Chain A
């Protein structure tokens, strides 16, 4: 498994982290190519279903990133999201996903450098955990 590379789905808020990723690109900042970005209108739009679907279809890690508290384009979307994520992360880890597979961050549009740094950190953590095994759906022997 030495050449194994994790697949990480990143849900990035259109108004901040998504642009930060852009900025990181324009600034030619380096980070490993393990991230697949899905743009969301606001972290408030994130549904736990998206995260579970990503894990179910084989993502080794999921990363959700949005605007710093107080900076939401829709004023309060990320405040609601914060509560939702807090409970969800606790629940899914309670049910047995490894801490370190699911990440959240606040990154503003100006923080290209920070985006690259967090990306490196997220990828490293997920990579250290190895391939996902607990919430991934495969053809199963219970299905005759």
Chain B
């Protein structure tokens, strides 16, 4: 994956030089370990600012919403699926985009690495399949597979779904993955247990809305939490308000979520917010055979119906 960078530079430089696009949206090196900053490059001289490594977990589709320019965007498998969703939902046009597809081998989980490394992390170096973490006078080497973001570890669409150019040959997709083990575990719980589990999960929430804002799907001009007449939700850290927020946030992503993991990565409190969206993803798959963002020609599940949809739950 490290070899992708030269190709990214070449493509970006060419596109900008030939004025095929007005800008390239990608990542630049962050100022702290395991963080890169989404950035925009507008001139061919600056393409070398762009980086690519296992710290590009932010979903760049989030930066395309309602843009009018011609844009080249670097896209992993999940990003590309969100780009598809964006196109379906008219948030950007296909012909505005040049998708630089990146076959992805997974992003690393900075929270996880921090918790596995007792000292302060000064530097993280990535070698093929190896993550070297350095502190002051100490070092630890992890296999990349053990420190992947959880959504990457169970990802089954690593290659971009749409692209104009790939930076490398497609990677092998993971098979025989059980994507919903955690969801099933909760489904099997008793009511009381479920409530305790979610109360505990959400007890750290500070309502910063990083999960919502990191998500490319959350682009409503006025989010339901900001509606005032009626005001659906209180603004305090009341547990019911917090629970309601997470429930509705997830529900708004129903049938659209690609499990890119941006929400969870963004959460400053390390809350497992994917546990909500994954339930819906599982349901959409089981009830309607749907996976989000796989094709430009299919309508998302809540925007369509079949006369014989399951309705056992209706009296």
Contacts and interface: CB of A to CB of B under 8 A. Distances in A.
The answer to whether any beta carbons of A and B sit under 8 Å apart in the complex is yes
A91 B251 contact: yes
A87 B284 contact: yes
Give the bracket for the number of chain B residues in contact with chain A.
35 or more
Contacts of A138: 240
Contacts of B195: 96, 134
A56 B314 contact: no
Contact of B305 (A80, A90, A118, A134): A80
A39 interface: no
Interface string A92-113: 1011111000011110000000
Interface in A92-144: 92, 94-98, 103-106, 118, 121, 134-138, 140, 142-143
Given A48-B251, A95-B247, A118-B315, A82 B305 contact: yes
A52 to B, nearest CB: 5
B194 to A, nearest CB: 4
A79 B305 contact: yes
Contacts of A56: 240, 244
B173 interface: no
Q: DSSP majority for the B interface?
A: helix
Nearest to B244: A52
Contacts of B186: 94
A85 interface: yes
B191 A87 contact: no
Contacts of B288: 83
B276 A91 contact: yes
B191 A53 contact: no
B279 A96 contact: no
Interface of A: 48-49, 52-53, 56, 69-70, 76, 79-80, 82-92, 94-98, 103-106, 118, 121, 134-138, 140, 142-143
7 shortest interchain CB distances as A-B pairs: A79-B305, A96-B194, A105-B315, A96-B195, A137-B240, A104-B314, A94-B279
24 contacts: A48-B247, A48-B251, A49-B232, A52-B244, A52-B248, A53-B230, A86-B283, A86-B287, A86-B310, A87-B251, A87-B283, A87-B284, A88-B251, A91-B250, A91-B279, A92-B247, A94-B186, A95-B194, A96-B195, A96-B197, A104-B313, A104-B314, A134-B195, A142-B239
Interface of B: 183, 186-187, 191, 194-195, 197-198, 224, 230, 232, 234, 236-241, 243-244, 247-248, 250-251, 254-255, 276, 279-280, 283-284, 287-288, 301-303, 305, 307, 309-311, 313-315
